[in-house]
Structures are given as C-alpha cells and as structure tokens.
Copies of this chain bind each other. A is one copy, B any other.
C-alpha cells in the first residue's frame, strides 16, 4: 500500500511511522483513513488546527474566495484580503488588549517568524547573543535551530550553532534554585562570560519540550528581568498562541507585554501556511526588503484568518470554553495518573495543552500506539519522548474529550499491564 512512500520519500519522515494509515478526509476533531477507520484527533496538526479540520465556518469563506478568482499569491503587494486581515487583527486582537504592535509577514512558517524576530532583535540592539531555554523548540532553519535545545535536531545542522545561550526554564532544577538566580547573577557580573544578550526567546508552555508550563510568576519575573537589563523579550507563541491556553495570546494570563511575538500554526485557522511577527512599534527599524520571501502574501490564509477572528474572538466564549475543557482534561488525566501511579509520573499543562509524563520514556510511544489502535491520535514530546501530549482542537466537544480520555485510560492500562507481566 505504502510502497511509494518507502521508495520515494526521504527517511526523514516521522509522524507516518507511528500512524501507519493513509488519511483521506477530516472534519472537526476527526480524521478518516482510506480503510474507512475514523480517528479522534488529539494532535491537531501539532497545534495548527485549533478550530478543527475543515471548519465549516471558514471553509465557505475560503472556497468563495477562491471561486471568485481573488488574489492567491501576492508576495507583499497590497491586496484587499491583506488589508482586511490587518484591519480585523487590529480591531479584534490588538486594540482590545491595548497592544501597539506592528505586523511583519515574514514567510509562511513559524520558523520564518522566529528568524525575523531574531534578526530584528539583533539589528535593533546591535548585539548577537540570544538567550533561550532548556528544552526550547523554535524551528529547524539555522537561526531558529541555534535557539532550539534538542540535540538530535541540533546535530542535524552540520555546523556549530552559535550566538545562543541556554538558561534553565521554569522548574528545570526541580524547585531547588530560585528563578533566574543564575541568569541574573551572570548578567550582573561583567566577568561571567555571558555576552549581553540582544533578546530572550521563550515559549510560555514548551510543547515539543514536554508540555512544560511556566508559571505566570516566572513569566513576569522574566519580563521584569528583561526590562531591567534592557533585553528584548520575544514570546514564541507559534504553538501556544491563538487560544491554545485560553486567551488569544498565551502570555495574557501573566499580564506581560512582550517586545516581539511570533505567531503561526493556528493563525490561519484552516491549516494554511501563515505566520506573522509582531513587534513593538518603535522596534520596526527594518529597511524595505531587508527580509523577504516568496510566500509572505498567501491571501487565502488572510481570508481564513479573518474568519477565525470573527467567528471565535469577538467575545470571551472561546477563552472560557477552552479553560473549562482544559479542566475536564486535567481531571481526567489526574485520575489516570492516580490509577497508574507506577507508570505515570505526573500530569502537567495549561489551557488545552496537556502532558501525561510517563516514568519510563519507553512507555509513552507505547501508550500512543495503543491509543492509535483504539482510534485516537496523540504524539509524544519531551527530550526523551517521555510525555504523552494532548493537543485536541479547541472546538472538540466535551463528549469527544471524554471519549479520548477513556481511550487514554485504556491505553495506559494496557501498557502498564504489559509492563507488569
């Protein structure tokens, strides 16, 4: 069946190895394979499908736009679709939150947003070093990879990765050291060997890193530290933005205002490649054309992005529902953890991003495999792949969330029993 994949597709392919099915259609929180099986999707395109697959509210807008022979590709020419996106993003997202950002279209992918953010921070400050955190993930292009922690992916660069320094993330040392003790001591010490950073780049919840959720206090401490030391704060909200943690931006709960914000993944609302970089107005020191790229103006994404904003973000319902659903998931996972204390180390997460941390890293992929057999898609994350990661569409019904939790419970049991035997 899959001969052509094995014969033609590079060995670099990954997800397909754990999910040996050929998918054909999808709607909402479900994906269907060509053998007719339907899967509940707690993966959601690694956070790209917060509003579900082929969301009907957006689908109509997209097809109408295409059917009218509207502009599809425009680089950074002016188009009506882009103007509408900017207007609605300003009205629905920026203004109500009191954010005075300018918007850059850096290319279609999250790593484009990160690359642009790093360039801008370096250009603005005239400094080179960027501080990232242990277990950070910011992308695979060379600039983004240099602030990413995963050693296998770093090795793939084939050249030494420079200009980045990794600091411990929240709770990295198990509560045994005060927040930022090392970071601030090194900044205050002219002999520390830490060259003054241009910026700090941070995820509020580390998705690939294992669903490590920083506390609001830690994020405020980081913001404060950056301000005191005149270092730019970049929040990479590629995976955790667009409502994944409740509010539109994941940093809102902490009450901080980053200098630069990276958005992508669910921004288009429909799985279309789209990314933006937001920057404090006075940071916009770019020369015209200093950063460019072919797919900066993919207009269908503007259209579905506007659709997502208008359908989901003009009131508080989305945020409230996400938080409520998150509590449902948390309770379900806590129960699983309690019943399987020998196999499950802990449960962690925020909003609708959750991780079930297995004691033995080998167990997590086995839980996911059992879940797949039972019709549920989930991936692992964390440095050793030890975390079962739940990232269901935000639009998943409570019934489906419950059903997914039941499958997880059964999968953990199956794995645990196998271990016991």
A181 / chain B contacts, CB cutoff of 8 Å: 173, 176-177
B192 and A102: CB pair below 8 A? no
Q: How far is the CA of A396 from the CA of B34 in the complex (A)?
A: 39
Q: How far is the CA of A157 from the CA of B126 in the complex (A)?
A: 11
Chain B, Cβ-Cβ closest to A44: B73
Judge if A166 is at the interface, Cβ distance under 8 Å. yes
A182 / chain B contacts, CB cutoff of 8 Å: 168, 173, 177, 182
Q: How far is the CA of A8 from the CA of B103 in the complex (A)?
A: 6
Contact of A298 among B26, B69, B273, B290 (CB under 8 A): B273
A9 and B109: CB pair below 8 A? no
Say yes or no: A134-B192 contact (C-beta < 8 A), given A5-B78, A12-B288, A16-B78. Answer: yes
A191 and B150: CB pair below 8 A? yes
A159 / chain B contacts, CB cutoff of 8 Å: 122, 128, 160, 162-163
A157-180: which have CB < 8 Å to B? 157-166, 168, 172-173, 176-178
A140 / chain B contacts, CB cutoff of 8 Å: 107, 112, 115, 291-293
B279 and A10: CB pair below 8 A? yes
Q: In the complex, which range does the number of interface residues on chain A fall in? A: 35 or more
Q: Distance (Å) between the CB of A116 and the closest chain B CB?
A: 8
A108-125: which have CB < 8 Å to B? 108-112, 115, 118-123
B26 and A69: CB pair below 8 A? yes
Identify whether the interface residues of A are mostly helix, strand, loop, or mixed: loop
A87 and B15: CB pair below 8 A? no
Q: How far is the CA of A135 from the CA of B285 in the complex (A)?
A: 25
Q: How many copies of this chain?
A: 4
Q: Name the residue among A14, A78, A292 with the largest chain B CB count within 10 angstroms.
A: A78
Judge if A77 is at the interface, Cβ distance under 8 Å. yes
Q: Please tell me which stretch of A264-272, A309-317, A362-370, A403-411 contacts chain B, meaning at least 4 of its Cβ atoms lie within 8 angstroms of it.
A: A264-272
Chain B, Cβ-Cβ closest to A195: B154
Judge if A338 is at the interface, Cβ distance under 8 Å. no
Q: How far is the CA of A160 from the CA of B128 in the complex (A)?
A: 7
Q: How far is the CA of A238 from the CA of B165 in the complex (A)?
A: 28
A22-54: which have CB < 8 Å to B? 22-27, 31, 34, 45-46, 48-49, 53-54
Q: How far is the CA of A198 from the CA of B115 in the complex (A)?
A: 24
A21 and B142: CB pair below 8 A? no
Judge if A143 is at the interface, Cβ distance under 8 Å. yes
15 residue pairs A–B, Cβ–Cβ below 8 Å: A8-B89, A21-B77, A24-B70, A25-B70, A63-B63, A63-B67, A107-B111, A119-B158, A128-B160, A135-B189, A140-B293, A152-B289, A166-B194, A177-B182, A265-B294
